[in-house]
Amino acid sequence: MAIELKMPALSPTMEQGTLAKWLKAEGDRIEPGDIIAEIETDKATMEFEAIDEGVLEKILVPAGTEDVAVGAVIALIAGEGEAPEPAPAPAPKAEKPAPAAVVAAADPAIPAGTNLVSTTVREALRDAMAEEMRRDPRVFVMGEEVAEYQGAYKVTQGLLDEFGPKRVIDTPITEYGFAGIGTGAAMGGLRPIVEFMTFNFAMQAIDHIINSAAKTNYMSGGQMRCPIVFRGPNGAASRVGAQHSQNYGPWYASVPGLIVIAPYDAADAKGLMKAAIRCEDPVVFLENELVYGRSFDVPDVEDYVLPIGKARIMREGKDVTIVSYSIGVGMALEAANTLAGEGIDAEVIDLRTLRPLDKQTVLASLAKTNRLIVAEEGWPTCSIASEIVSICMEEGFDHLDAPVMRVCNEDVPLPYAANLEKLALIDAARIAEAARKVCYK
């Protein structure tokens, strides 16, 4: 039976081409690997190589023929072999499953009488890591200055003493490399916590966070997991200039396959860090340098683990909702206090997790207050605030009594000069002003 030689597609988009030249004549013996013909497209000339053996029986499309459709039979080879099947019809368009009424798990109930311990965010993060390292021998910490220096911001203080250099690993200043090594270690079955001295430096490593960590489970059809935590301070610190002062929340939150957490207070930092370390998915855990030293009450319970993907109502109110996360939550609470003195009762929501975003809590609050603003210490363009605005438009439009407003940093690189830096960053006064505006007061 003759083997049909078909016009090959030499690129994914090629539909037709010119059969420029035959390099074999009818009657010629063909061996696998022989170049039979040259095909031209508008981009390049390509060689058409035989994979079957036999004799070139008949040339059906002469040299110089233009616009030969891909798949057209161009010649016949006499010899043994099998004719290919036609390509199957394209798949029907995927229908997205109806969104299930996902009710995120609530925070664990704190038993009455539980001792509340005043703890800094820095200590809460360290306690969470230490507890998880005691619990699971696969958990280890790596990063710049995490061991002997005790952490550039002292978040890993004391871990080297307790766990030793095998599990608390100082790396050279080589973010791309150690992010890749951490990611590979997670693929190999460990539970790495990779500290970036700041997330600004993680820009060097973002390829591994996104291309290697976030996409592998999907690309492998669920075969290869990557349980890793990338953590470190994020956002503006104090007078450190543009390259050290960026909020990457919106960047990472746009990536399917990642969990993105950005807590505000110490209890959430602890409970969510423990959840992040136990998580089977890669987590970006965004801290804030200016909040590290602040003290908050942390419940003194055996194993304080919080649900990922669940926002927290920090202050209940009925007139306007202020949605925020990370350092913005403190400013939002301050603004709410100011507004209370003016007769405006604001509800403050801490998103805590930026991906997956707890839309239900936001929309439920909007349905109650009918007015919503977003306070975000970060740029306004393509921000978490923009995302919340979209959600409110698409799914909460009927509840809106006023446009949703973004209260974000100015749309400029962060300046060094004290007065300019202050002008560029959000503060409680601006949040309060926006709240008054949507309340038409």
Partner 1 sequence: MAKKPAKAAPASDDGDFILHSLQEAFEAKKRYAASEAEMLEFYRQMLLIRRFEEKAGQLYGLGLIGGFCHLYIGQEAVAIGLQSALDPDRDSVITGYRDHGHMLAYGIDSKVIMAELTGRESGISRGKGGSMHMFSTEHKFYGGHGIVGAQVALGGGLALAHQYNNDGGLCLAYFGDGAANQGQVYETFNMAALWKLPIVFVIENNGYAMGTAVKRGSAETEFYRRGTAFRIPGMKVNGMDVLEVRAAAEVAFAHARSGKGPVLMECNTYRYRGHSMSDPAKYRTREEVQEQREHHDPIEGLKKTLIEAGKTEDELKAIDKAIRADVAAAADFAETSPEPAPSELYTDVLVGEY
Residues within window 10-39 making contact with partner 1, judged by CB under 8 A: 10-12, 32-33, 35
Q: Is 292 in the site for partner 1 (CB under 8 A)?
A: no
Q: Contact letters (x/-) for partner 1, 375-394, by CB under 8 A? A: --------------------
- 48 pairs with which residues across the strands? 37
Q: Is 93 in the site for partner 1 (CB under 8 A)?
A: yes
The Cβ-side half-sphere exposure at 149, using a 13 Å CA radius, reads 15
Q: Which residue has the tokens 């390259």?
A: 243
Q: Which stretch binds partner 1 (CB under 8 A): 170-178, 311-319, 384-392, 409-417?
A: 170-178
222 φ/ψ sector (left φ>0, alpha ψ -120 to 50, else beta): left
Choose which of 51, 63, 412, 423 interacts with partner 1 (CB under 8 A).
Answer: 51
**244 carries an active-site annotation:** yes
Q: Is 361 in the site for partner 1 (CB under 8 A)?
A: no
- Total length of the chain: 441
Count residues contacting partner 1 (CB under 8 A)? Answer: 80
Site for partner 1 in 181-220 (CB under 8 A): 181-190, 192, 207-208, 211-212, 216-220
Q: Is 177 in the site for partner 1 (CB under 8 A)?
A: yes
Q: Which of 132, 144, 175, 377 is catalytic?
A: 175
Q: Is 352 in the site for partner 1 (CB under 8 A)?
A: no
Which residues contact residue 15 at a Cβ distance below 8 angstroms, ignoring those fewer than 6 apart? 9, 69, 70
Choose which of 106, 166, 411, 419 interacts with partner 1 (CB under 8 A).
Answer: 166
Query: What is the spatial distance between Cα 350 and Cα 345, in angstroms, rounded to a whole number?
Result: 17
Query: What is the spatial distance between Cα 138 and Cα 126, in angstroms, rounded to a whole number?
Result: 17
To 10 degrees, the CA torsion angle through 351, 356, 359, 360? Answer: -100
Q: Contact letters (x/-) for partner 1, 122-141, by CB under 8 A? A: ------------------x-
Choose which of 179, 314, 333, 432 interacts with partner 1 (CB under 8 A).
Answer: 179
**208 carries an active-site annotation:** no
- Exposed/middle/buried for 166, CB within 10 Å: 0-12, 13-18, 19+? exposed
**For partner 1, which is the closer residue by CB, 62 or 222?**
222
To 10 degrees, the CA torsion angle through 117, 122, 124, 130? Answer: -130
Residues catalogued as catalytic = 175, 244
